[in-house]
């Protein structure tokens, strides 16, 4: 079904209305933009004009959504509380706001049986204009020889203090010219800064210095930092300590 522009705008508006108050951000894209920058083995099998929405969590998601989620589920020992909290929120947004629409939801942590991720989150964020995905090829005269350096996304407001959570594909909703691709903000503009970013991310990502490559408007609270720097297996003990 080709949708009128109004329908596409409406879908994006409703997803935003549901998710923004919980500390998420949503960015629409066409599947064709994503497939255009990837080899065929990573293509998503939809028409190129199909509407998708990439969902990010901003720093505020932890206090607005996750802490209340933990308080509500205090007595249950959820194995993956972060993933469960995000998926509960997104799936109830989809089932309540789009009961008649087929929406395929892919989460950042989901993989196919061959261990290939369901979608490439950083690529989706980049083509949607949400966060610039800095890769080795974005650095002229690379200083690393044949060493493989992994890329990383930087958000213009949150720096590296955010996470890409999901891709929602609105099966059969096709967008025409009303959805125009906007490039992500390039906030790490110089070669020197990009070298510093990729080295910081690849060589010592655990100290999180790469997240502060630009001055961000907000970052993770001390409690959020403590939570995410604790290995998942030890977080239940941390939660008991928090009471």
Footprint of ligand GSH on this chain (CB under 6 A)?
80-83, 108, 163, 228, 232
Residues 6 or more apart in contact with residue 96 via CB below 8 angstroms: 18
Beta strands in 110-179 (DSSP E): 132-134, 152-154, 163-174
Smallest distance from ligand GSH to CB 157, Å? 14
CB of 58 to ligand GSH, least distance (A): 10
Shortest CB 108 distance to ligand GSH, Å: 6
Order the strands of the 163-174 sheet from edge to edge: 24-30, 50-57, 163-174, 103-107
> Positive or negative, the Cα torsion across 59, 65, 66, 68?
positive
Two tokens at 35?
């497939």
Structure tokens at 121: 């989150």
Taken in order 139, 143, 146, 150, the sign of the CA dihedral is negative
Nearer to ligand GSH, 85 or 198 (CB): 85
Closer to ligand GSH at the Cβ: 83 or 226?
83
- Taking the least distance from each CB to ligand GSH, the nearer of 35 and 216 is 216
Q: With respect to ligand GSH, which residue has the nearer C-beta, 14 or 238?
A: 238
Q: CB-wise, 34 or 158, nearer to ligand GSH?
A: 158
| CA–CA separation, 189 and 176 (whole Å) | 32
User: Shortest distance, CB of residue 49 to ligand GSH, whole angstroms?
Assistant: 30
Gap between the Cα atoms of 192 and 110, Å rounded: 34
Q: Considering the complex, what minimum distance in angstroms separates the CB of residue 2 from ligand GSH?
A: 35
């Amino acid at each position: 079904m080709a949708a009128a522009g109004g329908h596409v705008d409406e879908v994006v508006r409703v997803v935003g209305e549901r998710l923004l108050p919980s500390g998420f951000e949503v960015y629409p894209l066409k599947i064709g933009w994503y497939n255009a920058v990837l080899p065929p083995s990573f293509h998503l099998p939809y028409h190129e004009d199909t509407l998708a929405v990439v969902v990010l969590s901003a720093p505020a998601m932890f206090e607005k959504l996750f802490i209340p989620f933990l308080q509500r589920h205090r007595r249950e020992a959820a194995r993956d509380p972060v993933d469960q909290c995000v998926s509960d929120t997104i799936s109830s947004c989809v089932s309540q706001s789009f009961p008649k629409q087929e929406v395929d939801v892919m989460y950042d942590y989901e993989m196919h049986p061959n261990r290939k991720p369901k979608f490439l989150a950083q690529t989706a964020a980049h083509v949607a204009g949400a966060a610039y995905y800095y890769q080795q090829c974005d650095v002229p005269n690379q200083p690393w020889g044949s060493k493989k350096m992994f890329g990383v996304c930087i958000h213009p407001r949150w720096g590296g203090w955010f996470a890409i959570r999901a891709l929602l594909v609105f099966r059969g909703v096709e967008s025409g010219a009303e959805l125009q691709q906007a490039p992500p903000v390039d906030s790490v503009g110089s070669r020197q800064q990009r070298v510093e970013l990729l080295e910081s991310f690849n060589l010592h990502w655990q100290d999180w210095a790469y997240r502060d490559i630009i001055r961000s408007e907000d970052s993770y609270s001390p409690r959020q930092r403590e939570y995410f720097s604790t290995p998942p297996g030890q977080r239940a003990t941390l939660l008991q300590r928090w009471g």
